[in-house]
């Protein structure tokens, strides 16, 4: 059970959070310009990384804020958390 | 009655005699006993029958690893508990226990015949035998297997006991209160770290607490005396919490652990009452010290499972801790030094014993001591067979060959009434591996050891493979200092003397002259798997330890293979000719010992099992015979049974009244989201398929919300209250998810929008009045409100006061009737409802529930998201193209509406269905076909909503059908179990297509 450091509330139990999948997938500004394949890429395609992964989490039973998490999926270590709109830490690639 | 309690110990209170029943017979023990020690004191070894062969089995161990002595506690339907280990159960006055898995009784068990036909039931017997004929499975095999399967009996009534949960945070958690755990806890606590020490036993001290050999001394005291002193010391430490009778069940990631504390299981019945039975501790620890010790291994030889055969160290504990001897003529069979401690202890108490040692020779202080005491030792010998049915009475030993692969020379028969076996020690690495730690294999004594894992977890003591006391204490102190980054000097001067084991020899499967096929060399006592079974599995091609385990069921019993897994691995490695360390192990899964369901559930039972949400009108509904339906967590009136009506009659009456005069619905559960901000209109434009910018203040509009994949997600009416203020309603079940989804978009995709969302579902109660007389009722409630169509048309909103309380009134309709929704602050909801009922009396205002609501809306062809849709329906599939704006550049899901798949003509589409026989009501979920002759039958779709409409006096249904849009008028068939129902595809609107009633 993770201990997640919400950037707004501090460390809280995983049960207060919900996971929102891969981070930094930007909704296309002009969807109508996209081909079916390009739209499908946005809509369906997600990475499934063994190693360092960027994820969205929501403190759903807390402040209800969304934020980003850098997690190593091979050992479940959370390496960093940062707010929505902030750039991912450069030391994780 | 025989008495095997031969001396007093400080752990048994001989002044407190305790009577208990075992298999219906009354016995006596003392406070401090376990059920097992009390039985042994009464000379009882035979405690059960084995699972498969029903062989007589006796107590083997003194702890959590016990495979045989599992019993049924109590006989009450609500309190009886199966599979309780007698070795862990503390004795109390009035305890009732019985043996399991035998009929008619443990001494004569009919299932024992399985022992004689055992050559016919090898590993995989069930898989092989019950394959054919196929038809036999359901009627013959399965019922038979079910009859003979399972251990013990489950309670058949709800558990009346109270269970509790507790969340705690500590700097350091120490698991295990043996010598290394005590040292670790003391070091941590003295360094101002908030520390928790847990141990599953009644008292701290592990196996050192009853250690009394002069060869093992600390600071010139017996190690047990020294340790007692340490325990006294740590009890004084203010920031150390000690929890005994508490075992760690699971070690999860991020140092989150679950522990079970037993609070009343050791108390007599009358003292248990109204007390919490067990408490589940949810522990977060910054650092965890694992000091769980090790378990003695059995040895695998022919007939190694007879009652009277125990682990050697358990014999020692029964003697030195409980004062009970397991026999009067004991043989100890060992491959290591620890059995010599047992031997010397027995000798001191005058119990005759001899040692059979696998090793060619051995030299250590302990062995010298045993020799000097004149204890007979057979080195380089092996037990080849044992005798005695209900209890061992003799055994045979033979000399081992030079390589240890065979036996040589003549059999020597030795009589005995008890055999202790010791195959070395297995470190308890369960906690380490549960936390994700890996293992290393140490060849020298064939043990798996924890590989150091991370900065927040460490193993010390014998669970780390340190077996002699000097090693244990020195290493623990050094490791803990480093681990906690402290410099504790308490043990710098401690002087430890102990015997050092110099000689090792391990043979997993002991040699025998008898062919393996004719032996019974048990590996897993509880599941009755033998060395032969393991070899058979290998012969049949199984290689992975995980497969062999499942095929032979080795290690799959309630003891989870604590005594058997190592031997299974060893035999596989030897047979396959590979190194044991390369095989890996099976997975150590939580819980370490079985947990009760009660502990896991805690207080969340009965009405606390799930949150129940009630509207402020709930009480009225209850008083008026409402049957309730669960919608999410909400309790919604389903229908109101008047004068003993059934549901059908009630719904027919309610729906007719709503159309003929007036009906009232509690609509408080609909999700309500207050939306404010300068960009509120733009926000709605982006989340709904239709346009919102031009909605006038005071007007309402229906909206359809999609997922980004173009599928309908939710719907509801939104009202523009002022320029930058909207009130959105959602479906009852979808409210929370819709809010989350909207928040997600606002926070992550469109943070530039000035919009604020607040859930106000619980803040307002809603009474929805519909029907031709609804306007008259409204007029009575709000006499000053101009209800004319000009002032208050359909899809508009007004505010007015009801006795000084502000109400929001929307003229909107989900039934197709003239209809008003009155919203009021929740605390006035019940009053509002009663006033409506009062005002409506002269118009036969009839309360109706969700079922009637569903019927009325189906007559009008209005969809219910989640009933007529299932996450694969686009607006076009629902024939709702009218609600999708062509002009808007973008909204959630728009691009997906013209993906190649969503524009397919042959998608399933919403249609109406009319049965040829108007009285025939279709079943929701029924499949729809057009041709029942060609096989396989082509499934076209299914019925989503179906009712008998009293207003149309016929059956109506909504359905999704492939290419349904083009099928109006076409005949289709609904095949049911015993008939085919003919239907005709119709429009989805069955009543009042012209919307005349809305303005009636």
User: At residue A93, does pLDDT exceed 80?
Assistant: no
**Which residue's entry shows tokens 């006592």?**
B525
Window from B146-160, B253-267, B495-509, B531-545 with minimum mean pLDDT: B146-160
User: Which of B300, B321, B312, B319 shows the shortest CA–CA distance to B340?
Assistant: B312
Verify whether the Cβ–Cβ distance A40 to B899 is below 8 Å.
Answer: yes
CB count within 10 Å of CB B393 equals: 15
How does pLDDT run across B905-945, given as a tens digit for each residue? 999 999 999 999 999 999 999 999 999 888 899 999 999 99
Q: Is A45 on the interface with B (CB under 8 A)?
A: no
For residue B183 the two structure tokens come to: 């040292």
How far is Cα B715 from Cα B731, in angstroms, rounded to an integer? 7
- A83: chain B residues, CB-CB within 8 Å: none
Residues belonging to chain A: 93
- Counting residues of chain B whose pLDDT is more than 90, the rounded percentage is 85
The confidence band for B127, taking pLDDT boundaries of 50, 70 and 90, is: low
Cis peptide upstream of residue B591 (ω within 30 degrees of 0): yes
Query: Does A31 lie at the interface with B, CB-CB under 8 angstroms?
Result: yes
Taking CB atoms and an 8 Å cutoff, what residues of chain A touch B252?
1
Task: Say if A82 is an interface residue toward chain B (CB within 8 Å).
Answer: no
Q: Is the pLDDT reported for residue B651 higher than 60?
A: yes
The stretch B939-963 carries a mean pLDDT of 97
pLDDT of B371 > 90? The answer is yes
Mean pLDDT, residues B624-641: 96
> pLDDT, tens digit, for every residue of B655-679?
999 999 999 999 999 999 999 999 9
Asked whether B894 and A31 are in contact (CB, 8 A), the reply is yes
Q: Specify burial of residue B9 (Cβ count, 10 A radius: 0-12, 13-18, 19+).
A: middle
Paired residues of B35 in beta bridges: none
Pairwise CA distance, residues B43 & B48, whole Å = 15
Burial class (CB in 10 A: 0-12, 13-18, 19+), B912: buried
Q: Which of A42-56, B72-86, B90-104 has the lowest mean pLDDT?
A: B90-104
Taking 60 as the threshold, does the pLDDT of residue B639 lie above it?
yes
In CATH, what is the architecture of A3-83? 2-Layer Sandwich (3.30)
- If contacts are CB pairs under 8 Å, which of residues 47-76 in chain A contact chain B? 56, 58, 60, 64-66, 75-76
Read off the pLDDT band of B558 (50, 70, 90). Answer: confident
Predicted confidence at residue B453, as pLDDT, reads: 76
**Are the C-beta atoms of B662 and B774 separated by less than 8 Å?**
yes
Q: What's the whole-number mean pLDDT along residues B190-216?
A: 95
SS (H, E, C) B268-300: CHHHHCCCEEEEEEEEEEEEEEECCCEEECCCE
What are the structural domains, with CATH classification, of chain B?
13-120 (3.10.20.440), 162-294+427-488 (3.50.50.60), 298-423+502-509 (3.50.50.60), 521-588 (1.10.10.1100), 671-856 (3.30.1360.120), 859-999 (3.30.1360.120)
Looking at residue B988, its pLDDT comes to 96
Rounded to an integer, what distance in angstroms lies between the CA atom of residue B764 and that of residue B762? 6
Using a CB-CB cut-off of 8 Å, the residues of chain B touching A34 are 895
Identify from A3, A31, A45 which residue to disrupt to test chain B contact, counting B C-beta atoms within 10 A and taking the largest count.
A31
The per-residue DSSP string of B865-891 comes to TTTT--S---TTTTT-GGGS-SS-S--
Closest listed residue to residue B443, CA positions, set B557, B578, B553? B578
- Give the nearest partner residue to B747 out of A27, A28, A84, using CB atoms: A84
Radius of gyration of chain B (CA): 38
pLDDT at B111: 62
Q: Which of A30, A40, A75 sits opposite B436 (nearest CB)?
A: A75
The reported pLDDT for the residue numbered B320 is: 97
Q: Which residues contact B277 (CB under 8 A, 6 or more apart)?
A: B161, B162, B163, B262, B263, B264, B265, B598
Q: Convert the pLDDT of each residue in B259-276 to its tens digit.
A: 999 999 999 989 999 999
Question: Of the given ranges (B71-85, B616-630, B722-736), which has the lowest mean pLDDT?
Answer: B71-85
Mean pLDDT of B499-517: 93
pLDDT tier at B115 (50, 70, 90 boundaries)?
Answer: low
Out of B252, B708, B899, the one facing A1 most closely (by C-beta) is: B252
CA angle B736, B739, B744 (to 5 degrees): 125
Cα(B384)–Cα(B332) distance, integer angstroms: 14
pLDDT of B254 higher than 90: yes
- Selected for mutation to probe chain A from B254, B256, B896 (highest A CB count within 10 Å) is B254
pLDDT tier, B54 (very low <50, low <70, confident <90, very high otherwise): confident
CB contact at 8 A, B981 and B942? no
Residue B195: alpha-carbon gap to chain centroid:
28
Pairing of strands B496-497, B217-218: antiparallel
Whole-angstrom Cα distance, residue B934 to residue B179?
Answer: 77
Q: What residue in B sits closest to A67 (Cα-Cα)?
A: B748
Q: Which of B748, B889, B896 sits opposite A43 (nearest CB)?
A: B896
CA distance B287 to B188: 10
Task: Measure in Å the smallest separation between the Cα of A30 and chain B Cα atoms.
Answer: 8
Nearest CA in chain A to B454: A75
Residue B293 has which token pair?
């010790």
B168/chain A closest Cα distance in angstroms: 12
Report in angstroms the alpha-carbon separations of B162 from A30, B233, B260, B278, B621: 59, 34, 14, 8, 33
Nearest CA in chain B to A63: B743
pLDDT given at position B527: 87
Contact B896 A39 (CB under 8 A): yes
Q: Is the pLDDT of residue B145 over 70?
A: no
Q: Which of B104-108, B144-148, B406-410, B951-955 has the lowest mean pLDDT?
A: B144-148
Closest CA to B805 of B830, B786, B788: B830
Please, which residues bridge with residue B764 across strands? B825
Residue A91 has pLDDT above 90, yes or no: no
Interface contact A39-B895, CB threshold 8 A: yes
Give the Cα separation of B948 and B720 in Å (integer): 37
List the single residue in A28, A43, A64 with the smallest CB-CB distance to B709: A43
Question: Which residues does chain B have within 8 Å of residue A20's beta carbon, measured at their own beta carbons?
Answer: 744
Residue A10 makes CB contacts below 8 A (sequence gap 6+) with: none
Cα(B715)–Cα(B892) distance, integer angstroms: 14
Give the model's confidence band at B51: pLDDT under 50 very low, under 70 low, under 90 confident, else very high.
confident
- Pairing outcome for strands B256-262 and A18-22: unpaired
- In chain A, what are the domain boundaries? 3-83
- CA quadruple A17, A21, A23, A24: dihedral sign: negative
**What does each C-alpha distance from B304 to B225, B386, B534, B612 come to in angstroms?**
36, 7, 16, 57
Over pLDDT 70: what percentage of chain B? 95
**Which of chain B's residues have a Cβ under 8 Å away from the Cβ of A60?**
740
Mean pLDDT of the residues in chain B = 93
Interface contact flag, B890 A32, Cβ < 8 Å: yes
Gap from A32 CA to chain B (nearest CA, Å): 6
Instruction: Calculate mean pLDDT across residues B315-334.
Output: 97
Please report the pLDDT score of residue B934 as a whole number. Answer: 87
pLDDT at B100 over 70: yes
Closest CA to B546 of B516, B575, B588: B588
pLDDT at B871 over 60: yes
SS3 B777: helix
Give the pLDDT band (50/70/90) at residue B128.
low
Across B441-454, average pLDDT: 90
- Report cis status (omega within 30 of 0) of the bond before B104: yes
Residues 6 or more apart from B401 whose CB is under 8 A from it?
B407, B408, B511
Q: How far is B436 from chain A (nearest CA, A)?
A: 8
DSSP string of B795-841?
A: TEEEEEEETTEEEEEEE--SSSSSEEEEEEEGGGHHHHHHHHHHHHG
From the CA of A4, how many Å to the nearest CA of chain B? 10
Q: Could you read off the pLDDT of B701-756 as tens digits, one per residue?
A: 999 999 999 999 999 999 999 999 999 999 999 999 999 999 999 999 999 999 99
């Amino acid at each position: 059970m993770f201990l997640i450091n919400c950037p707004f509330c501090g460390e809280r139990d995983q049960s207060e959070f919900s996971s929102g999948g891969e981070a930094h997938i930007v909704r296309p500004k002009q969807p109508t310009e996209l081909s079916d394949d390009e739209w499908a890429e946005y809509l369906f395609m997600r990475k499934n990384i063994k190693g360092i992964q960027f994820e969205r989490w929501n403190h759903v039973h807390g402040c209800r804020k969304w934020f980003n998490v850098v997690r190593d999926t091979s050992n479940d270590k959370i390496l960093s958390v940062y707010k929505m709109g902030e750039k991912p830490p450069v030391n994780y690639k | 009655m025989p008495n095997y309690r031969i001396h007093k110990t400080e752990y048994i209170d001989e002044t407190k005699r305790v009577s208990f029943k075992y298999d219906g017979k009354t016995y006596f023990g003392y406070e401090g006993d376990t059920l097992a020690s009390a039985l042994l004191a009464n000379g009882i070894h035979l405690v059960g029958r084995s699972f498969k062969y029903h062989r007589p089995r006796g107590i083997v161990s003194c702890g959590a690893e016990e495979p045989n002595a599992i019993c049924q506690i109590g006989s009450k339907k609500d309190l009886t508990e199966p599979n309780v280990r007698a070795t862990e159960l503390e004795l109390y006055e009035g305890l009732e226990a019985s043996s399991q898995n035998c009929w008619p009784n443990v001494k004569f068990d009919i299932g024992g015949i399985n022992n004689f036909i055992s050559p016919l039931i090898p590993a995989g017997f069930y898989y092989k035998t019950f394959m054919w004929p196929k038809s036999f499975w359901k009627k013959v095999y399965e019922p038979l297997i079910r009859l003979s399967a399972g251990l013990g009996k489950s309670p058949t009534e709800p558990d009346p006991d109270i269970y509790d949960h507790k969340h705690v945070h500590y700097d350091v958690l120490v698991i295990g209160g043996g010598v290394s755990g005590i040292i670790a806890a003391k070091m941590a606590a003295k360094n101002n770290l908030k520390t928790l020490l847990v141990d599953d036993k009644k008292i701290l001290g592990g196996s050192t607490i009853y250690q009394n050999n002069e060869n093992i001394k600390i600071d010139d005291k017996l190690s047990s005396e020294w340790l007692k002193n340490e325990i006294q010391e740590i009890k004084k430490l203010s920031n150390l919490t000690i929890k005994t009778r508490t075992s760690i069940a699971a070690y999860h990631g991020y140092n989150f652990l679950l522990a079970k504390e037993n609070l009343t299981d050791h108390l007599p019945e009358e003292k248990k009452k109204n007390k919490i039975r067990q408490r589940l501790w949810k522990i977060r620890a910054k650092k965890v010290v694992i000091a769980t010790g090790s378990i003695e291994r059995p040895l695998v030889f022919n007939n190694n499972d007879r009652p009277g055969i125990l682990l050697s160290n358990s014999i020692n504990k029964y003697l030195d801790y409980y004062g009970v001897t397991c026999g009067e003529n004991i043989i100890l069979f060992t491959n290591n030094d620890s059995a010599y401690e047992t031997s010397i202890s027995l000798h001191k108490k005058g119990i005759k014993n001899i040692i059979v040692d696998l090793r060619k020779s051995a030299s250590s202080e302990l062995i010298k001591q045993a020799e000097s005491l004149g204890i007979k030792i057979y080195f380089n010998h092996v037990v080849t067979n044992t005798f005695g049915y209900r209890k061992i009475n003799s055994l045979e030993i033979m000399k081992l060959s030079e390589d240890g692969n065979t036996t040589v020379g003549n059999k020597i028969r030795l009589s005995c009434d008890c055999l202790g076996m010791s195959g070395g020690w297995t470190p308890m690495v369960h906690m380490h591996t549960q936390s994700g730690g890996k293992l290393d294999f140490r060849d020298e004594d064939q043990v798996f050891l924890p590989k150091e894992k991370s900065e927040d977890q460490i193993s010390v003591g014998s669970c780390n493979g340190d077996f002699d006391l000097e090693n244990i204490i020195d290493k623990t102190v050094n490791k803990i200092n480093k681990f906690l980054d402290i410099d504790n000097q308490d043990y710098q001067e401690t002087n430890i003397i102990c015997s050092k084991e110099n000689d090792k020899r391990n043979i997993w499967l002991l040699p025998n002259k008898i062919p393996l096929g004719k032996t019974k060399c048990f590996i897993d006592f509880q599941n009755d798997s033998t060395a032969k079974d393991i070899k058979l599995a290998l012969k049949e091609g199984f290689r992975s330890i995980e497969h062999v385990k499942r095929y032979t069921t080795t290690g799959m019993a309630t003891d989870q293979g604590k005594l058997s897994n190592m031997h299974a691995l060893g035999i596989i490695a030897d047979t396959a000719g590979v190194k044991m360390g390369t095989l890996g192990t099976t997975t150590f899964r939580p819980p370490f010992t079985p947990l009760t369901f009660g502990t896991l559930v805690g207080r969340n039972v009965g009405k606390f099992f799930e949150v129940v949400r009630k509207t402020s009108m709930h009480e009225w509904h209850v008083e008026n015979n409402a049957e309730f339906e669960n919608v999410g967590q909400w309790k919604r009136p389903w229908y109101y049974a008047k004068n003993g009506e059934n549901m059908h009659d009630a719904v027919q009456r309610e729906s007719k009244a709503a159309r003929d005069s007036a009906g009232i619905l509690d609509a408080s559960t609909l999700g309500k989201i207050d939306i404010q901000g300068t960009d509120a209109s733009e926000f709605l434009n982006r989340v709904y398929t239709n346009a919102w910018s031009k909605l006038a203040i005071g007007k309402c509009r229906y909206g359809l919300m999609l997922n980004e994949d173009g599928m309908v997600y939710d719907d509801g009416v939104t009202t523009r209250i002022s320029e930058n203020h909207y009130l959105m309603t959602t479906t009852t079940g979808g409210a929370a998810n819709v809010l989350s989804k909207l928040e997600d978009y606002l926070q992550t995709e469109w943070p530039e929008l000035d919009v604020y969302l607040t859930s106000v579902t619980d803040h307002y109660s809603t009474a929805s009045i519909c029907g031709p007389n609804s306007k008259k009722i409204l007029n009575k409630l709000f006499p000053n409100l101009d209800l004319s169509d000009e002032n208050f048309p359909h899809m508009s909103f007004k505010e007015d006061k009801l006795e000084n309380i502000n109400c929001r009134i929307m003229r909107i309709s989900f039934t197709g009737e003239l209809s008003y929704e009155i919203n009021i602050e929740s605390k006035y909801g019940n009053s509002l409802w009663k006033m409506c009922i009062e005002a409506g009396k002269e118009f036969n205002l009839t309360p109706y529930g969700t079922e009637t609501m569903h019927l009325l809306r189906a007559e009008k062809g209005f969809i219910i998201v989640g009933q007529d849709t299932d996450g694969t329906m686009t607006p076009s599939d629902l024939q709702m193209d009218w609600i999708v704006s062509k002009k808007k550049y973008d909204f959630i899901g728009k691009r997906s509406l013209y993906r190649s798949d969503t524009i397919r003509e042959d998608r399933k589409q919403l249609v109406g269905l009319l049965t040829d026989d108007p009285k025939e009501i279709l079943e929701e979920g029924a499949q729809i076909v057009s041709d029942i002759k060609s096989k396989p039958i082509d499934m076209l779709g299914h019925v989503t909503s179906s009712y008998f409409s009293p207003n149309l006096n016929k059956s109506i249904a909504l359905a999704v059908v492939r290419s349904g849009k083009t099928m109006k008028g076409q005949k289709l068939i609904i095949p049911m179990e015993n008939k085919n129902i003919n239907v005709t595809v119709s429009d989805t609107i069955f009543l009042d297509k012209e919307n005349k009633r809305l303005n009636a």
